[in-house]
Amino acid sequence: MIVVLRTDVSEPQINHVLERVQELGFEPRLIRGEFRTIVGLIGDDNKTAAGALEAIPGVEQVLRILKPFKMASREFHKEDSIVPVGKGKVRIGGGHLAMIAGPCAVESLEGLRAIAGHVKKAGANILRGGAFKPRTSPYAFQGMGEDGLKILRDVGDEVDMPVVTEVMDTRQVPLVEKWADMFQIGARNMQNFDLLKEVGQTRKPVLLKRGMSATVKDLLMSAEYVLAEGNPNVVLCERGVRSFEDSTRNMLDMSAVPNVKGQSHLPIIVDPSHATGRPDLIPSMAMASVAAKADGVHVEVHDCPEKAFSDGPQALLPPQFASLMDDLRKLATLLGRTID
Ligand code: PEP
Ligand code: MN
């Protein structure tokens, strides 16, 4: 529920509303806007509580939200949210585009340094690289772990780019929080609720990827887990869903972008690399993402795909990425978007 307060509400009245909200079993979130103050209520909506709150002096209206996600909803927060990454060096949302690029996995200091140099020069603003890799086979490369995180941090600092990396387990949260600027929750973990709660306890931004068989509503409900813990910095990522089509790795649901934007204030970016798995399709799908008003793209780049430890076949070569960035910049300018 959302309690809309009168424009002339007094401070003692606001405090009384907050007390009553807690007595009724909800967790209040006070939001002071330029023109209005509202209180978001975390808890189960019910008619009795709505009636009780409506009777309090200073309350103008009580809105019951029928959507199961509250804090993620547009009703709760009308403006687009802008998520700062790397102490505000890069902003995502509200017209600011994230251009996240890098290899699937951190493989070595020299290797990452070379790729980071290329993507930075091309105009990417966030460096990616997995240190903990979710692999279908337990015998496949699992990532460099903490050594990989340190390399990612060092190289990010060298090229002056914030870094994002996947966290797969609650036990890894403190480590990833220490070394990275942004958590990535992968498709396979989108509904790992303990992990969502754990990153929700931090204040580091979270890149939440859509599960491969998750609906848009499931994705927003997962975002709600992070927001409900008090971390407002969530960026969603469409990365394709499983389908009958077998000529692409997944099926890119481009309509998820405007679909999410209609229902939520959270930024949403698109990952055409994991969505298509094909370098010949990635550039056009990246362009389509920005045209669909996504808040950025997430692209895997490798300077020697045949030697990559994971996802080599879908990596763009540095010159391909540079040419894509040239096109994305032109499109962004045309649409009045900025790339920090
Ligand atoms: C990745 O970004 O490397 C990754 C594993 O992505 P996803 O979780 O979308 O499969
Ligand atoms: Mn990958």
pLDDT in tens, 155-196: 999 999 999 999 999 999 999 999 999 999 999 999 999 999
Q: What is the CA radius of gyration of the chain?
A: 21
Domains of the chain: 2-63 (3.30.70.1140), 83-339 (3.20.20.70)
pLDDT band (50, 70, 90) for residue 5: very high
Ligand 1 pocket, residue 302 CB under 6 Å? no
The Cα angle at residue 83 between residues 29 and 208, in degrees rounded to 5: 90
Nearest Cα to 206, choosing from 217, 275, 225, 77?
A: 225
Q: Are strands 59-63 and 2-5 parallel, antiparallel or unpaired?
A: antiparallel
Percent of the chain with pLDDT over 70: 100
Q: What mean pLDDT, rounded, does the chain reach?
A: 96
* pTM reported for the whole predicted model: 0.88
> Exposure string (b/e) for 131-168, b if CB count within 10 Å is 16 or more?
bbbeeeeeeeebbbeeebbbbbbebbeebebbbbbbbb
Render pLDDT for 117-166 as a digit per residue (tens, 0 to 9). Answer: 999 999 999 999 999 999 999 999 999 999 999 999 999 999 999 999 99
Percent of the chain with pLDDT over 90: 93
Residue 288 has pLDDT above 90, yes or no: yes
Give pLDDT, residue 47. 81
Run of H or E residues at 52: helix 47-54
Rounded to the nearest angstrom, the distance between the alpha carbon of 56 and the centre of ligand 1 is 49
Residue 267 has pLDDT above 80, yes or no: yes
Residue type at 301 in one-letter notation = V
Give pLDDT, residue 64. 86
- The mean pLDDT value for 190-219 works out to 98
Ligand 1 pocket, residue 95 CB under 6 Å? no
CB burial of residue 190 (10 Å; 0-12, 13-18, 19+): buried
Q: Which of 49-58, 123-132, 193-202, 205-214 has the lowest mean pLDDT?
A: 49-58
Measured from the Cα of 133, ligand 1's closest atom is: 5
Give pLDDT, residue 46. 80
Residue 45 has pLDDT above 80, yes or no: no
Residue 66 has pLDDT above 80, yes or no: no
Instruction: Give the tokens for residue 173.
Output: 């949260």
Residue 34 has pLDDT above 90, yes or no: no
Closest residue by CA, ligand 1 atom 8 = 186
Q: What is the Cα 183 distance to its own chain's centre?
A: 9
- The mean pLDDT value for 291-320 works out to 98
DSSP 336: T
Cα–Cα distance between 74 and 197 in angstroms, integer?
Answer: 22
Ligand 1 pocket, residue 298 CB under 6 Å? no
User: Helix, strand, or coil here: 15?
Assistant: helix
- The mean pLDDT value for 208-236 works out to 98
Ligand 1 pocket, residue 162 CB under 6 Å? no
What are residue 32's DSSP bridge partners? 37
Instruction: Give the tokens for residue 63.
Output: 């809105």
Ligand 1 pocket, residue 29 CB under 6 Å? no
- The number of the ligand nearest the C-alpha atom of 129 reads 1
